[in-house]
Amino acid sequence: MTETQHSPTYPAMDYRPASPANRLRDGRWQLLVAACFAFGAWAGYDVPLPVSVLGFLVMAFAVAFLPRRAGSRRLEAVKQRELRRMWPGTGMKVTVDALPAPCFVADGRGITRYINKAALKRYGDMKPGDPLSFSLRAPSLLEAFDRVCSSGEPERINWTEKVPTESWFEAHVSPVFMPGTASGRSGKGLPDFVLVVIQDQTEQRRLERMRTDFVANASHELRTPLASLSGFIETLQGPARDDPTARERFLAIMQEQAGRMRRLIDDILSLSRIELKAHVKPSAQVDLVEIIRHTRDALAPVAKEMGVTVETEVPDGEAIVNGDRDELIQVTENLIENALKYGGSGGRVTVALEDESQSGDDHKWALAIRDYGEGIPAEHLPRLTERFYRVNADSSRAMKGTGLGLAIVKHILNRHRARLEIESSPGNGATFRAHFPPIGTP
C-alpha cells in the first residue's frame, strides 16, 4: 500500500502553523480592540496621532512575535492530540504494512483509519473512513472490538466461517495509546486506536485434523493384524501346540497378516518421504514411454495371474517431462495395479499417453489408465485420494490394499506440479488421468 493510495483527508480543524501572519489572523479581535483604543485616544483625549499609531503597531508586533499565552499553547496541544487520535502517523502505517497478516487500524467508534496490503488483498476494496463492520462481519470479533475500546485491554478470539467453505480464524485485538495523550502517558483508559490482526488458521487446522485422522486410521489398520498375530501365537503356544494341521494353517494366516503390516508400514514411510520433499520440484527429465513399458513388464505376472490384458497406446518417440523416475514409476504402478485389482472384471486395462499440447513445440502429456470393470459411484470420486479411504473396505483388504495408494499418487503428482483427474460411472469402468505440465513450466 502506498502513501498516495491511503493518505486520508485530514478533518477540518482550526489549526495552523504559528507563523506571524497566522498569529495576526488569530489575534484579529485583539487588534480590533487596540485600534479602537488608539482611535479613541486620538479623537477624545487629544493624544497625538503618531503616538496612537505607534501604540497600535506595538500591540500588533506583540501579537505577531511575542510568545503566545499558555492558554493558546494548551489549545494548540489539544488540537494536535485530537489530530493524532483521529489518524495514525506514518510510523504506525509503515509498521502495519510490514506485517504479513491482514491488519486494520480503527478508532474507538469502529471507523477504519488504515488498512495494510494483506488486508486489501483478502477483503477487497475497502478504504479508510469505512466502518470496520463493512469487511469484518464476524459478531464475536466486533464484540471483542467493543470490549477493547471500553476496557483498554487486549483480547484474542477465534471463530469459524462456514461460507463459502469451512474456515478458521484467529484475531488479536490490541489497544494503541499515542504518546502525548493522557492515555498514552499512563497506558490506561480509552485507547486512541485499536489494532486488529487476523490470522487464517484454516490450513493449520486441516493439517492437524489430517494428522489426527492419519494416526487414528493407521493405528486401527495396524491393530487388526497385530491382534490376529497375538491370538494365533497364543493358540499355537496352548491348545494347538501339538496339532500340525492347525499349526500350518495358523502360520499361513500369520504370514499374511505380517505381510499386510509390512505393506502398510512401507506405504506410510513412502508417504512421509514424499511429504518431506513436497516443496522441491523435480529438475530431471524422464521419458514416460519408457516408464510405462517398464511398469507393464513388471506387472505382467500379476496381470497374467488375474487373467487381465494390459494394452498400451504410446507414441513411437519419447514423451519427456520433468520428474523423478522412481516416483513416476510408483505412480504408474499404483494406478495400473488398482485397475487390475478393482477393474479386472472387464478383462483388460488400457494405458495411454495423450498429447494435450496446442502447438507442436511444447508437449503437454497426459497419462491415462482405464479399466473396464464395474466403475465407481459418483459420490466416492471426490474422496478417493484421501488416506485410508476405501469404496469397499472388505474388497480392498482382500486385494491386499492399504488405502494409501491413491494418496501417494496425489502427493507425487502435486510435487511434479501435475494434476490427477478421475472419471467413472457404474458399469463403465474408471479412467485415472494424470496431466503433466510442459517442460520448463515453473
What are the pLDDT digits (tens) for 178-222?
765 555 545 566 788 899 999 998 888 877 877 777 777 777 778
**Beta strands across the sheet bearing 348-355:** 309-313, 348-355, 365-371, 430-435, 419-424
Identify the pLDDT of residue 371.
Answer: 93
Parallel/antiparallel/unpaired status of strands 103-106 and 112-115: antiparallel
Residue-by-residue DSSP string for 119-162? HHHHH-S--TTSBGGGT---HHHHHHHHHHHHH---EEEEEEE-
List, for residues 305-339, the tens digit of each pLDDT value.
999 999 999 988 888 999 999 999 999 999 999 99
pLDDT band of 81, cuts 50, 70, 90 = low
The helix or strand, by DSSP H or E, that contains position 328, with its residue range, turns out to be helix 325-343
Parallel/antiparallel/unpaired status of strands 309-313 and 348-355: parallel
- Residue 25 DSSP class: H
Report d(CA 306, CA 347) in Å as an integer.
9
- Residue 269 DSSP class: H
Q: Which of 232, 230, 224 is nearest to 249 (CA)?
A: 232
Quick one: average pLDDT of 421-425? Answer: 91
Report d(CA 167, CA 203) in Å as an integer.
9
Quick one: average pLDDT of 412-441? Answer: 90
Per the CB < 8 A criterion, the answer to whether 420 and 357 are in contact is no
Tell the burial category of 398 from Cβ atoms under 10 Å away from its Cβ (0-12, 13-18, 19+).
exposed
Those residues whose C-beta lies under 8 Å from the C-beta of residue 369, and which sit 6 or more positions away, are 332, 335, 336, 339, 349, 350, 351, 352, 431, 432, 433
Q: Which of 436, 438, 214 is nearest to 327 (CA)?
A: 436
Report d(CA 6, CA 127) in Å as an integer.
7
**Stronger pLDDT, 91 or 435, i.e. the higher one:** 435
Q: Which of 322, 316, 326, 323 is nearest to 353 (CA)?
A: 316
**Stronger pLDDT, 359 or 126, i.e. the higher one:** 126
Report d(CA 193, CA 93) in Å as an integer.
12
Report d(CA 195, CA 116) in Å as an integer.
11
Identify the pLDDT of residue 2.
Answer: 36
- Residue 430 has which C-alpha cell? 474408471
Per the CB < 8 A criterion, the answer to whether 222 and 388 are in contact is no
Q: Name the average pLDDT for the chain.
A: 81
Q: What are phi and psi of 65, to 5 degrees?
A: -120, -25
Sign of the Cα torsion 164, 170, 175, 178 reads negative
Per the CB < 8 A criterion, the answer to whether 407 and 385 are in contact is yes
- Residue 359 has which C-alpha cell? 502447438
CATH 1.20.120.420 given to domain 206-276? no
Per the CB < 8 A criterion, the answer to whether 311 and 348 are in contact is yes
Q: Which CATH superfamily is domain 285-435 in?
A: Histidine kinase-like ATPase, C-terminal domain (3.30.565.10)
Report d(CA 250, CA 52) in Å as an integer.
127
* pTM for the predicted model, two decimal places: 0.54
The domain at 85-200 falls in which architecture?
Answer: 2-Layer Sandwich (3.30)
Cis geometry, peptide bond prior to residue 244 (ω within 30 degrees of 0): no
Identify the pLDDT of residue 398.
Answer: 66
List, for residues 375-390, the tens digit of each pLDDT value.
888 888 888 888 888 8
List, for residues 340-361, the tens digit of each pLDDT value.
988 888 889 999 999 887 665 6
Side-chain-side CA neighbours of 288 within 13 Å: the count stands at 28
- Residue 180 has which C-alpha cell? 502525548
Q: Which of 278, 285, 283, 284 is nearest to 363 (CA)?
A: 285
Q: What are phi and psi of 426, to 5 degrees?
A: -55, 130
Task: Tell me how far CA of residue 106 lies from CA of 92, 112, 127, in angstroms.
Answer: 12, 4, 11
Report d(CA 260, CA 413) in Å as an integer.
26
Domain boundaries, given as residue ranges, for the chain: 3-83, 85-200, 206-276, 285-435
